[in-house]
């Protein structure tokens, strides 16, 4: 019996030693795993720090590169000369266009002045034709000479009209100082106030410009 008890005690001791050894082995393995995990974590942290530093360095350099875009590229001398020549050409073309318009206007004004001067010299001839034809007796109006003079007179009026010379309406019209020159004033109940009663000399306009005012008698 004593021997069996000793054998049982030895077996229990062996089991206890095995359990202790297994626990010690597990603790050692756990410690190694913990150290490995910490080492990996520290390495990843260092890599992250290195990445952040590199990114920060890149970020600091980026604005420097960006600032370069704000500075304009210096123009080439040839480009500057071309722009300067283009500006001069545009100014000269504008000056020439203004000169052309001014010259055309001056030519038109000179033409109108010359035409009015000639018309003023022709109008007395027209007046003489009208006075001469008005003085012809009724029985002589069919004479060849009178008929010829009347045809010349009418042809002159036609040419003046085609050139832009128009007679001014006077008799029966309201007096207008822009077209009429009042030399007499009468009282007439049959006419309205400030109405032209009689025309002594016919007036003419050339292209809406008065060449000669009508010489008239104004009523009331």
Q: Is residue 106 part of a domain?
A: yes
Domain count for the chain, please give it.
1
CB distance 218 to 196 below 8 Å: yes
Segment 58-92, tens digit of pLDDT:
444 444 454 455 555 666 888 888 888 999 999 99
**How far is 41 from 38, CA to CA, in rounded Å?**
5
CATH number of the domain residue 120 falls in: 2.30.22.10
| 55 found inside a domain | no
132: in domain: yes
Query: Quick one: pLDDT at residue 14?
Result: 67
> With pLDDT > 90 as the criterion, what percentage of the chain qualifies?
45
> 177 lies in a domain?
yes
Say if 189 falls within a structural domain: yes
Contact 162, 208 (CB under 8 A): no
Average pLDDT taken over every residue of the chain: 79
Rg, the chain, Cα only: 61
Q: Show the domain range for 141.
A: 102-219
Q: What Cα–Cα distance (Å) separates residue 126 from each residue in 68, 122, 146, 157?
A: 86, 7, 15, 8
* Residues 132 and 149: beta-carbon distance below 8 Å: yes
Answer whether residue 180 is part of any domain: yes
Q: What is the pLDDT of residues 170-191, one digit of tens each?
A: 998 999 999 999 999 888 888 8
In tens, the pLDDT along 111-152 reads 888 888 999 999 999 999 999 999 999 899 899 999 999 999
Looking at the domain assignment, is residue 131 inside a domain?
yes
């Amino acid at each position: 019996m004593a021997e069996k008890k000793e054998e049982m005690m030895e077996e229990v001791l062996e089991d206890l030693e095995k359990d202790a050894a297994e626990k010690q082995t597990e603790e050692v393995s756990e410690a190694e795993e913990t150290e490995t995990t910490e080492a990996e974590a520290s390495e990843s942290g260092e890599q992250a720090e290195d990445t952040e530093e590199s990114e920060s360095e890149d970020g600091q350099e980026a604005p420097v590169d960006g600032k370069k875009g704000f500075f304009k590229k210096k123009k080439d001398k040839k480009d500057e000369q071309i722009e300067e020549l283009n500006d001069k050409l545009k100014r000269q073309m504008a000056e020439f266009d203004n000169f052309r318009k001014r010259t055309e206007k001056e030519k038109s004004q000179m033409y109108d002045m010359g035409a009015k001067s000639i018309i003023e010299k022709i109008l007395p001839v027209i007046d003489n034709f009208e006075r001469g034809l008005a003085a012809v007796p009724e029985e002589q109006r069919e004479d060849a000479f009178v008929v010829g003079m009347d045809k010349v007179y009418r042809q002159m009026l036609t040419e003046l009209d085609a050139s832009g010379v128009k007679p001014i309406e006077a008799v029966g019209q309201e007096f207008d100082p822009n077209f009429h020159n009042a030399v007499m004033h009468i009282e007439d109940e049959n006419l309205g106030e400030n109405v032209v009663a009689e025309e002594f000399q016919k007036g003419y306009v050339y292209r809406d410009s008065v060449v000669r005012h009508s010489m008239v008698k104004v009523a009331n």
